[in-house]
């Protein structure tokens, strides 16, 4: 399996988020719909982190079994990618918890 790192495409990322390049929502996008909204974006992100972790585990297992098609470099890159994704997910969770706590402590 060949692992490639592709350059970041800002316009593609913005389009996937349902936004224009200036940050405004695309017309006709339904919030809270089947594929829209924050909940779906978080679920997709967590699925991606999980898939990255599973791939890193699989590559690590294959490397330890001396599979000639799996290199140390590929395994290490997959492990680092998985770790960075997990750390980002934890940071998002921490920020959400902090925002929730601040909202709950507001006086009405």
Identify which has the larger pLDDT, 32 or 42: 42
The residue whose two tokens read 């001396």 is: 66
pLDDT of residue 28: 60
107 contacts: CB under 8 Å, gap ≥ 6: none
Identify which has the larger pLDDT, 36 or 80: 80
Identify which has the larger pLDDT, 61 or 14: 61
Determine what percent of the chain is predicted with pLDDT higher than 90.
51
Q: Are 25 and 18 in contact (CB under 8 A)?
A: yes
pLDDT of residue 32: 47
Question: What are the helix and strand counts (H, E) for the chain?
Answer: 3, 0
12: pLDDT strictly greater than 60: yes
Q: Are 70 and 59 in contact (CB under 8 A)?
A: yes
Confidence tier at 39 by pLDDT (50, 70, 90): confident
């Amino acid at each position: 399996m060949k692992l490639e790192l592709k350059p970041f495409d800002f316009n593609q990322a913005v389009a996937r988020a349902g936004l224009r390049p200036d940050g405004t929502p695309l017309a006709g996008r339904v919030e809270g719909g089947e594929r829209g909204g924050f909940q779906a974006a978080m679920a997709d992100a967590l699925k991606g982190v999980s898939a990255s972790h599973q791939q890193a585990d699989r590559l690590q297992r294959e490397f330890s079994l001396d599979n000639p098609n799996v290199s140390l470099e590929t395994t290490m890159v997959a492990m680092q990618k998985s770790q960075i994704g997990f750390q980002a997910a934890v940071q998002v969770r921490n920020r959400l918890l902090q925002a929730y706590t601040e909202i709950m402590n507001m006086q009405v």
